[in-house]
Structure 1
Amino acid sequence: MFEESIARYLERYGHPNINLKAVLFDMDGVLFNSMPYHADAWHKVMERHGLHLSREEAYLHEGRTGASTINIIYQRQYGKDATPEMVESIYAEKSAEFSKNPEPERMPGAWEVLQKVKAAGLTPILVTGSGQHSLLNRLVHNFPGMFERERMVTAFDVKYGKPHPEPYLMGLEKAGVKANEAIVVENAPIGVQAGVAAGIFTVAVNTGPLDGQVLLDARANLLFPSMQALCDDWEELYKSLASGSNVAT
């Protein structure tokens, strides 16, 4: 197990000096159990175009913009970027393939975590590399009253996607807070890298098939084995970050 307890982190690294006002949430794999559908859609559509991206590798690219994912694979095979027309076509196919699946369910524990965040007077902010309209539209239905559109950061809002810090820096801006006034909740290695690069305390939740060590190697500050585990330990986490005092293991 690679999970680090809150107390162990604080003992090892000290209190991160957080005045918590906002929580920045990734979407796929954090709020929705949608990554298996994304991985399958990416694999099928890439193969149609003679591009090779396994379902397993798709998890490593989770959080990138669609254009970035396509160009990484295209560069690997052909040594150049895909044309803008090709990128648009492939991503449209991928979106259509994704939409053939049943509606993704909320990630267990996600709704409850958000309720606790709101009850604590904190602002939840969505920061996703996705441009998947179907999922973005479902946020209102699945998480009523939690996210305001003007406080969402999506693939349509940024020039540089994760692992660049721009998405999370923009999330801070939309929340009206500084880096030490927020935490990030992420499940993808490049998302963790983006949160850390933005100078934000980053909590990883290992909701996919990756080894938890991959998330720690991406420099996650804390690792939980699921969103449900984060939900169960939310009060302890919030208390620890608010007070800076060590807690019992």
Structure 2
Amino acid sequence: MKIRAEALLFDNDGTLVSSLDSVNRCWTRWAGEYGLTADDFARIRLHGRTAAEIAADLLPADIVPQAVARIELLEVEDVADGGVRLLPGTRAFLDSLPADRWAVVTSATRRLAEARLDAVGILPKTLIAADDVTRGKPDPEPYLLAARALGVDPARCVVFEDAPAGLEAGRAAGMTTVALATTHRASELDADLVVPDLSALSALVTGGEVEITGRG
């Protein structure tokens, strides 16, 4: 399958970098600090959602801002302890793209996203974070904002995601979707194309267009 687009929009955690161990470590500690039981925490889906949404599901409204600041601090500190790493194919794929043809669109806060990206040497020209939107994934707002920032019609964008909520956001934005089976089984991912990770893809830039194809 070949996909042609003018802009490529990447989720970060689980798509470009692996932060799952860090997330589990930090959120487990956070839950203990706020007196949450294992049952409380088990019912909450962490991946692909903002910290503010998760905290609001678990805690009284008056302590949510404090709790969100606390988990952000824990996760940023964990980055310094080696909490993230590049996923296979990330470096080569991004290096093949012009800087003005791609963006990172994440449910993390800008501070956390920049810490994780900086730790692995990724410096996107355009970054859309939780701080920039009023509604996070699966709402299409984050991806529509990224398309606007790049000056590209949403229909000419491709979204790269590992989580169902992010893929739903991409579809709702009218974009082509590519799922990476890095954190979910391929059978759980509804996308135009499903691959193991970015190492399964190559990109060829011709003029103002990017052609994406599978390797091998």
TM-score, normalised to structure 1's length? 0.72
Letter paired with 1:97: L
User: 2-side partners of 1:243 and 1:108: how far apart?
Assistant: 20
Contact 1:61 1:190 in 2 (8 A): no
Contact 1:140 1:147 in 2 (8 A): no
Matching residue of 1:215 = 189
The question of 1:53 aligning with 2:41 is answered yes
Q: How many residues align?
A: 207
User: 2-side partners of 1:248 and 1:139: how far apart?
Assistant: 26
Matching residue of 2:169 = 194
Q: Any gaps of 5 or more consecutive residues in structure 2?
A: none
Matching residue of 1:128 = 106
| Corresponding residue SS for 2:53 | helix
User: 2-side partners of 1:248 and 1:33: how far apart?
Assistant: 22
Q: Displacement of 1:49 after TM fit? A: 2.1
Q: Any gaps of 5 or more consecutive residues in structure 1?
A: 1-5, 8-17, 75-81
Q: Displacement of 1:34 after TM fit? A: 0.9
Contact 1:47 1:53 in 2 (8 A): no
Matching residue of 1:69 = 54
User: 1-side partners of 2:172 and 2:21: how far apart?
Assistant: 27
> Percent of aligned positions with the same letter in both sequences?
28
Match of 1:95 among 72, 77, 80: 72
Contact 2:22 2:78 in 1 (8 A): no
Contact 2:171 2:177 in 1 (8 A): yes
Which consecutive segments of 4 or more residues in structure 1 shift more than 3 A?
A: 140-144, 241-244, 246-249
| Corresponding residue SS for 1:156 | helix
| Corresponding residue SS for 1:129 | coil
Contact 2:110 2:129 in 1 (8 A): no
RMSD (Å) for aligned C-alpha atoms: 3.0
5 Å-filtered alignment, 1:4-43, equals 6=1, 20-43=5-28
Structure 1 residues 27 and 247: CA distance shift in structure 2, 3 A = closer
5 Å-filtered alignment, 1:96-115, equals 96-98=73-75, 99-100=77-78, 102-103=81-82, 104-115=84-95
Higher helix fraction: Structure 1 or Structure 2?
A: 1
Structure 1 residues 122 and 19: CA distance shift in structure 2, 3 A = farther
Superimposed CA distance per residue, residues 64-84 of structure 1 (whole angstroms, 9 cap, x where no aligned partner): 21111222344xxxxxxx31x
Letter paired with 2:94: L
Matching residue of 1:77 = none
| Corresponding residue SS for 2:87 | coil
Matching residue of 1:117 = 97
The question of 1:147 aligning with 2:132 is answered no
